[in-house]
Structure 1
Amino acid sequence: MPNYLKLPTVTKGLIRVVIETPRGATAKLAFDPETQVFGYVRPLPVGMTYPYDWGFIPSTLGEDGDPLDGLVIHQASTAPGVVIKCNLLGALRVKQKDAGGKVLRNDRYIFCPHKEDASDEPVAADHVPDDLRREIELFFHSSVVGTDKVIKFKGWQNGAEARRAIKKGMNAFAARQ
């Protein structure tokens, strides 16, 4: 079985995202590095589902000690363990406070899958449209209801800014190895 945490982050300019929780899931799933399996974490609040595939960026490390988080915007749903090569659209900057009162940055990176059969032209936009931003913010705010987490949004980064932040996460991962 592959070590999902140590997959290369980037291939041919595209960023890999390992899917933990597929679109349509009513429970959060997560990869457990010890057992190398995807396991149940908790249910979402009643009536909620993941609007898109959710996962992590391999070979990165965030302030919370976990790989950086990624939301893959597309109409299909996949399964835990699927790796998608993506174009980076941007990131939602998030300040998170846990039950112990620890405050840290836990941004959500937003992607769209790279289409293998598409032309070599660059993605038309390196940002998340305003209406989709509001929907994503609403989902993330609602998804922590009933948990010990409190989140506050600190604005959006475009694709170039988000790529620099991912590079920082890659450097933190490399320094820990």
Structure 2
Amino acid sequence: MPDYLKLPTTTKGLVRVVIETPRGAAAKMAYDPAIQAFAYVRPLPAAMTYPYDWGFIPSTLGEDGDPLDGLVIHQAATAPGIVIKCDLLGALRVKQKDKGGAALRNDRYIFSPRNEDAEHEPVAADHVPEHLRREIEQFFRSSVLGTGKAIRFKGWQDAAEARKSIKRGMKAFAARK
């Protein structure tokens, strides 16, 4: 099995996202490098499912010590381990407090998959409609119920700002080696 954490972050201007939890899943799953498999983490609160594919951006490192998080907005459900080449739409800036009270930044990057069989122009961040932004925020707010984590939203970044944040995550990953 490939080491998903070390895949190249980008290819031809697109960002790779490794799917951990597919759309429609009622439980969170995560890649466990120790066993090189995708493992069950916890159930979501009752009656909740992931609205879109959820995963991470390889070869990046966030403040929480994990790769940067990514939500891929599309209508299909994939499976853990699928790698999707995406256009970056933007990011939801998130301040997270863990059980121990430590506060850190844990943004959620928002993507659209690239359809390589069609002519395609990247979608601008302002094409994430306001109602969809609110739905995404509500999902993340609800998804941490019962985990001991508290999150606060600090606004949205456009694609250019989000790309700079991803580059910082790439540098942090490279420095950790």
Normalised by the size of structure 1, how large is the TM-score?
0.98
Please name the residue that 1:37 is paired with: 37
Counterpart residue identity of residue 126, structure 1: A
- Is contact 2:16–2:58 with CA below 8 Å preserved after alignment? yes
Q: Distance in 1 between matches of 2:150 and 2:132?
A: 22
Matches within 5 A, 1:7-156: 7-119=7-119, 121-127=120-126, 128-156=128-156
Q: Shift in Å at residue 124 of structure 1?
A: 3.9
Q: Shift in Å at residue 5 of structure 1?
A: 0.1
Counterpart residue identity of residue 41, structure 2: V
Q: Distance in 2 between matches of 1:15 and 1:103?
A: 27
SS of residue in 1 equivalent to 2:64? coil
Counterpart residue identity of residue 174, structure 1: A
Q: Report sequence identity in percent.
A: 76
Counterpart residue identity of residue 51, structure 2: P
Q: Distance in 2 between matches of 1:125 and 1:17?
A: 18
Counterpart residue identity of residue 122, structure 1: E
Q: Shift in Å at residue 109 of structure 1?
A: 0.1
Counterpart residue identity of residue 84, structure 1: I
The aligned length equals 176
Question: Which runs of at least 4 in structure 1 moved beyond 3 Å after TM superposition?
Answer: none
Counterpart residue identity of residue 123, structure 1: P
List runs of 5+ in structure 1 lacking aligned partners. none
Q: Distance in 2 between matches of 1:172 and 1:65?
A: 10
Q: Shift in Å at residue 85 of structure 1?
A: 0.2
Q: Shift in Å at residue 118 of structure 1?
A: 1.7
Q: Distance in 2 between matches of 1:36 and 1:79?
A: 16
Per-residue CA deviation, residues 100-156 of structure 1 (Å, 9 max, x unaligned), is 11000000000000010121x522423422111000000000000111100000000
Q: Distance in 2 between matches of 1:125 and 1:132?
A: 14
Q: Distance in 1 between matches of 2:142 and 2:37?
A: 27
- Is contact 2:14–2:86 with CA below 8 Å preserved after alignment? yes
Q: Shift in Å at residue 29 of structure 1?
A: 0.2
List runs of 5+ in structure 2 lacking aligned partners. none
